[in-house]
Structure 1
Amino acid sequence: MANIINLDRVSKGYGAAGQLLTEVSLGLDDDARIGIVGLNGAGKSTLLRLLAKAEDPDSGRVTHRRDLRVASLPQSLDLAAEATVRDVVLGTAWLAQGMGAEHEWAGDAGVRAILTGLGMGYLGLDTPVGPMSGGERRRVALAALLVRDSDLLILDEPTNHLDVAGVDWLAHHLLTRRGALVVVTHDRWFLDEVCTATWEVADEQVHTYEGGYAAWTLARAERQRVAAAVEARRQNLLRKEIAWLRRGPPARTSKPQFRIDAANALIADVPPVRDTVSLQRLAVTRLGKQVYDLTDVTLTAGSKPILDGLTWQVGPGDRLAILGANGAGKTTLLRLLAGVTTPAGGRLVTGSTVRAAFLSQELRELPGQLRLLEAVEEVAKRVKLGDRELSAGQLAEVFGFTDKRIWTPVSDLSGGERRRLQLLRLLATEPNVLLLDEPTNDLDTDTLAALEDLLDSWPGTMVVASHDRYLVERVTDTAYGMFGDGRLVHLPGGIDEYLARVSASGAAPVPALSAQDGKSQATAAASGMSAGDLRQARKDLTRLERQLAKLEEREHKINESLAEHGSDYAKLVELEAQLKAVQEERAQVEEAWLELAESVPGN
């Protein structure tokens, strides 16, 4: 490992936004894979611009290694309308903005593979950029970065406008790519799959954690457990989040063994994420037996066929995910269920008790003249969601609006805040059917966790169209796929089955190297160990884990003795000294474990 960027006591602020970073000192290594998380407006994108030297700090210094090659994807792009895909991807238009340096570019076949992986295989290299949608322009710009060699790749929300298969392809591609990576994204599955460390931007500082989203969530929960009296409500939310992570795929729990024991203890008394039976019973009470019945339905978007002779039933309490590529018709299907559009043929019957709330991808008109709390109270002053009754202010707090923020005029809210308010107002109508079209757009990870917690106890029918794999697996029970052939296909295997079908069809080729294999091979190559050295290192890891277990047991016994001898001052002094020695030894062993684990593939 070699250091490529240093931030030395860097501070940055803006007039309206205020101070974002204060005396931040960080270092970035040449093989780092960093995921940056934090609330909307905390300074994540600002940190990226400082790392890339696209902006200067107000104070402090940002130092790059000599001849460092940095490729950066910003949130906003300004590509010439007359430019073609070839111009952007192979250099002409992209270089005109100073976003790269002269290179021998990859051949057209390599470019085509990247465009196909990003869901743009239908584009020719001579296709003009001007008529493209914002999502298409962004994916073309991302392709332009991926065909280049760079020492550091900086990506700001790269998963925006990618479908599930595109996100999966990008994760695999980045795992096999050389060089450092720094990424800001709200896609928690992507963070866990790609990143080996997490930076949290909060309170004008950057806090560093080993591991991806799961490890960051666990570390925050452990830290907040110590201050449980102060952060009781947030603590309970994180405990539930960890319970979900521990019940998920093994990749989510690839953390040191001595941390797994702590996680198990932390969630020992946490109930299942959802009581499905009770929610189903409540949903039937609220909705009756009929929600949506589709019989031989034909649906089109303009001249494009979306559904051809679909017969499908959505029942009370169903929690359904709709998966598909961009343009497959997911939004059109939701608009049909919401009553915004009508079928071209066949019959749709909606239950008489259905009160549907449709969250579209567009930011609908909000009452800009009102303050945030007033905009919520305009819909309802008190809201009953499942077994919880909340005031308008409490509901706003669930969605991350602080006491001060709820008095902000709606016209002054950021895009992410307006998205949260839009969803908040929908829930305040107390619907019994939720139709959610990309609900994670513009929401930070904390707000997503709060939303998922709210939906866990929501007793109604839910249909979600989303590319956010984490959210889909977290809040839905059944998945359906749209593959552009007029069918709606039940997917018992969920997202894994969807990706397998996409891969088999050749729509979005995925490298043969699996995500986990990619991580393991990259680590092994970095370690430079022989097979014998690796065997010995693994033995040493096992020995250190046993040593840690013994030290934890000693620490537990000393704590018990401290409780027993509360009135014996001399004994307390002796036990305190023993406890301090054990804790210091444990810290040293943990440090040794972590240093060794970094050099061993698969840890």
Structure 2
Amino acid sequence: MAHLLGAEALHLEYPTRIIFDSVTIGLDEGDRVGIVGRNGDGKTTLLRMLAGKLDPDAGRVTRRGGIRVGMLDQADELDTGLTIRETVVGERPEHEWAGDPKVRDVIAGLLGDLDFDAIVDDLSGGQRRRVALAAVLVGEWDVIFLDEPTNHLDVEGIAWLAQHVKRRWPANAGGLVVVTHDRWFLDEVCTATWEVHDRIVEPFEGGYAAYILQRVERDRMAAASEAKRQNLMRKELAWLRRGAPARTSKPKFRIDAANELIENEPPVRDTVSLASMAMQRLGKDVVDLEDVTVTFGDRTVLDGVTWRIAPGERTGILGVNGAGKSTLLSLVAGTLQPTSGRVKRGKTIKVAVLTQQLAELKDVWDDRVSDVIGRQRRSYIAGGKELTPGQLLERVGFSSAQLATPVKDLSGGQKRRLQLLLILLEEPNVLILDEPTNDLDTDMLAAIEDLLDSFPGTLLVVSHDRYLIERVTDQQYAVMDGTFRHLPRGVDQYLELRAAATAPPTAKATSTAPPAATRLAGAELRAAEKERAAASRKIDKVNGQIAELHERMAAHDQSDYVGVGALAEELSALQAQLEAAETRWLELEELLG
């Protein structure tokens, strides 16, 4: 493959520390590289040096003659006074840019909900970020550097961006280097991963899943990695191998040694024990939303929503911004009353909400971390082990030196981790997470997910991070057009529903699929209608059996672990039956129209 650019013996240091020392790395045609590493280790710095935005103290970056380089920086610096149109397409005549399929794709994918003639100064931070990304993507570049491009994008936007960069160049042309904490995006797009750590850049083959495999094998062979970090990565690897085997089938490197590490690794969550503990702490009643409607003025946000939340339920909630996700969670948390309908709350529930505003830290802003933690509980049970608050802090990346740091001086990611720990130490039995991945690198995300694996209560998560949703929740729902819809096939099904809902009328009218009424006729049509009715009855029946089983579990002697385990297995089987029936009902519904 032809060489695009390279870095040779890069050295960079600040007054307090050395960032890079003798780093040599290269980018070839067709490379799609993801950069990972802890916050503060130099990921953005490396990107800016390679893009020519920052000069190293020593060494050099060389580029092939004539290559064009574009970059999305974190700063979102947009010229003031310009419209979105002027910022994205400049002075190009409309017939010129509108006739370019790539430009149309970028505008539709990122800016479809914005007024193209709006002034960029009046936009929100998230909107400005999308405009900046669009301005880069409409350009003709041989190499594109993207620094956290998925920030402020929802699940649909991230899926669109992945497809755009995958088809932007032919397979063996162009180059992409991206810094992101979105692990699904790394897996979907990248052919190589560079880990920035300890003043070096270490290359790995493949996306995030492949990187984890190689990293665990590297740690095992080196036998020098600290035990807690290796154990955490083994758990992450076990989930990647069991939960998403297709991701790890592509790498060409030898993974036998890595597989040996997880041969006896248990599932990431002990569902039987968690179900038992959840029933002990919550009883059978958590929160029931019954035919709930919420309106604000003339706008109906939720319309006739019914949701019965079970003890130990782990649910991910999807939806576009403004769809009503926060409204739904406010009903669960008890901070909002419905316009109509009923919210029934269990007597023993204790709800905690991890907000995006770091509200839990306001009262301790000037206190040292050690003092804040010292006022909390003396121990916490995680993964069957009793940990002190200090050990919990260490587990999520706090060093002993940082314990003396005032809360206000922590980084964004450190504040986020401290916020979650303070909530967990209060031992809620219903935990609501609203975009919990903000400001966290991939290692810290894995550490947070490890803590959540042992949370013995009901967990509700709203996030645009697809990897997190699939990793820590067992089922997904979507808030769409005021309704609350179960997604048996998860995020993929949500994206399909959104694509169908947002397709232009002409696209729907010219679909190659024949109308539902002409697909089936006669005996086939009657058989399908009969099967749909049967599937509907099956769903109602199994839902009733699940409700009855929850009551039996609540009444059962919780010290009878064998009996509780049998009931939990019965519940798992019923939930599998329900998912299968719902999936079949959806298929028949689409077939019959």
1:503 aligns with 2:499: yes
CA distance in 2, matches of 1:378, 1:51: 46
The superposition leaves residues 17-76 of structure 1 with CA deviations (integer Å, 9 ceiling, x where unpaired) of x32111211111132111000001111011111111111112221222222211111112
Aligned to 1:241: 236
1:259 aligns with 2:254: yes
Matches within 5 A, 1:76-115: 76-91=75-90, 106-107=97-98, 110=101, 113-115=104-106
Distance change (3 Å), C-alpha of 1:110 and 1:326: farther
CA distance in 1, matches of 2:175, 2:95: 21
Aligned to 1:317: 312
The superposition leaves residues 137-178 of structure 1 with CA deviations (integer Å, 9 ceiling, x where unpaired) of 101111111111101111111111111111111111111112
Please state how far the C-alpha of 1:220 moved relative to its aligned partner: 1.1
Distance change (3 Å), C-alpha of 1:276 and 1:116: farther
Aligned to 1:367: 364
Please state how far the C-alpha of 1:135 moved relative to its aligned partner: 0.7
Given that 2:463 and 2:469 are in contact with CA atoms closer than 8 Å, whether structure 1 keeps it comes out as yes
Aligned to 1:34: 33
CA distance in 2, matches of 1:340, 1:91: 46
Given that 2:301 and 2:482 are in contact with CA atoms closer than 8 Å, whether structure 1 keeps it comes out as yes
Q: SS where residue 202 of structure 2 aligns?
A: strand
The superposition leaves residues 313-367 of structure 1 with CA deviations (integer Å, 9 ceiling, x where unpaired) of 1111000000111222222222332223222222212212111110112233262
Q: Which moved more, 1:302-311 or 1:387-396?
A: 302-311
Q: CA RMSD in A?
A: 2.4
Given that 1:77 and 1:138 are in contact with CA atoms closer than 8 Å, whether structure 2 keeps it comes out as yes
Given that 1:111 and 1:143 are in contact with CA atoms closer than 8 Å, whether structure 2 keeps it comes out as no
Of 129, 133, 154, the match for 2:124: 133
Given that 2:323 and 2:482 are in contact with CA atoms closer than 8 Å, whether structure 1 keeps it comes out as no
CA distance in 1, matches of 2:81, 2:345: 47
Q: SS where residue 400 of structure 2 aligns?
A: coil
Distance change (3 Å), C-alpha of 1:9 and 1:228: closer
Q: Which moved more, 1:175-184 or 1:248-257?
A: 248-257
**Which amino acid letter does the alignment assign opposite residue 158 of structure 2?**
V
Tell me the matched-pair count. 500
CA distance in 1, matches of 2:271, 2:177: 39
Q: Which moved more, 1:195-204 or 1:75-84?
A: 75-84
Aligned to 1:49: 48
The superposition leaves residues 66-94 of structure 1 with CA deviations (integer Å, 9 ceiling, x where unpaired) of 222111111121324432110111136xx
Q: SS where residue 106 of structure 1 aligns?
A: helix
Q: Which moved more, 1:403-412 or 1:430-439?
A: 403-412
CA distance in 2, matches of 1:341, 1:42: 42
**Which amino acid letter does the alignment assign opposite residue 233 of structure 2?**
L
Distance change (3 Å), C-alpha of 1:301 and 1:240: farther
CA distance in 1, matches of 2:252, 2:30: 24
Q: SS where residue 342 of structure 1 aligns?
A: coil
Given that 1:8 and 1:62 are in contact with CA atoms closer than 8 Å, whether structure 2 keeps it comes out as yes
Matches within 5 A, 1:408-423: 408-423=405-420
Aligned to 1:64: 63
CA distance in 2, matches of 1:53, 1:302: 52
Please state how far the C-alpha of 1:6 moved relative to its aligned partner: 1.7
Distance change (3 Å), C-alpha of 1:403 and 1:103: farther
Aligned to 1:176: 167
Q: SS where residue 393 of structure 2 aligns?
A: helix
Please state how far the C-alpha of 1:131 moved relative to its aligned partner: 2.3
CA distance in 2, matches of 1:115, 1:67: 25
Matches within 5 A, 1:167-316: 167-178=158-169, 179-228=174-223, 230-256=225-251, 259-300=254-295, 304-316=299-311
Q: SS where residue 165 of structure 1 aligns?
A: helix
**Which amino acid letter does the alignment assign opposite residue 14 of structure 1?**
Y
Which runs of no fewer than 5 residues in structure 2 stay unpaired? Answer: 508-593
CA distance in 2, matches of 1:36, 1:308: 43
Please state how far the C-alpha of 1:500 moved relative to its aligned partner: 1.3
Aligned to 2:136: 145
TM-score (norm 1): 0.78
Distance change (3 Å), C-alpha of 1:105 and 1:420: farther
Distance change (3 Å), C-alpha of 1:32 and 1:410: same
Given that 2:214 and 2:255 are in contact with CA atoms closer than 8 Å, whether structure 1 keeps it comes out as no
Aligned to 2:340: 345
Distance change (3 Å), C-alpha of 1:14 and 1:380: farther
Matches within 5 A, 1:555-566: none
**Which amino acid letter does the alignment assign opposite residue 405 of structure 2?**
T
Given that 1:166 and 1:508 are in contact with CA atoms closer than 8 Å, whether structure 2 keeps it comes out as no
1:397 aligns with 2:388: no
Q: SS where residue 299 of structure 1 aligns?
A: strand
Aligned to 1:448: 445
CA distance in 2, matches of 1:68, 1:109: 22
Q: SS where residue 427 of structure 2 aligns?
A: coil
Distance change (3 Å), C-alpha of 1:391 and 1:105: farther
Q: SS where residue 364 of structure 2 aligns?
A: coil
Given that 1:169 and 1:508 are in contact with CA atoms closer than 8 Å, whether structure 2 keeps it comes out as no
The superposition leaves residues 533-591 of structure 1 with CA deviations (integer Å, 9 ceiling, x where unpaired) of xxxxxxxxxxxxxxxxxxxxxxxxxxxxxxxxxxxxxxxxxxxxxxxxxxxxxxxxxxx
Q: SS where residue 464 of structure 1 aligns?
A: strand
Given that 1:197 and 1:210 are in contact with CA atoms closer than 8 Å, whether structure 2 keeps it comes out as yes
Given that 1:357 and 1:431 are in contact with CA atoms closer than 8 Å, whether structure 2 keeps it comes out as yes
**Which amino acid letter does the alignment assign opposite residue 275 of structure 2?**
Q
Distance change (3 Å), C-alpha of 1:404 and 1:300: farther
1:162 aligns with 2:153: yes
CA distance in 2, matches of 1:118, 1:425: 39
TM-score (norm 2): 0.80
**Which amino acid letter does the alignment assign opposite residue 199 of structure 2?**
E
CA distance in 2, matches of 1:304, 1:127: 24
Matches within 5 A, 1:485-524: 485-506=481-502
Please state how far the C-alpha of 1:446 moved relative to its aligned partner: 0.5
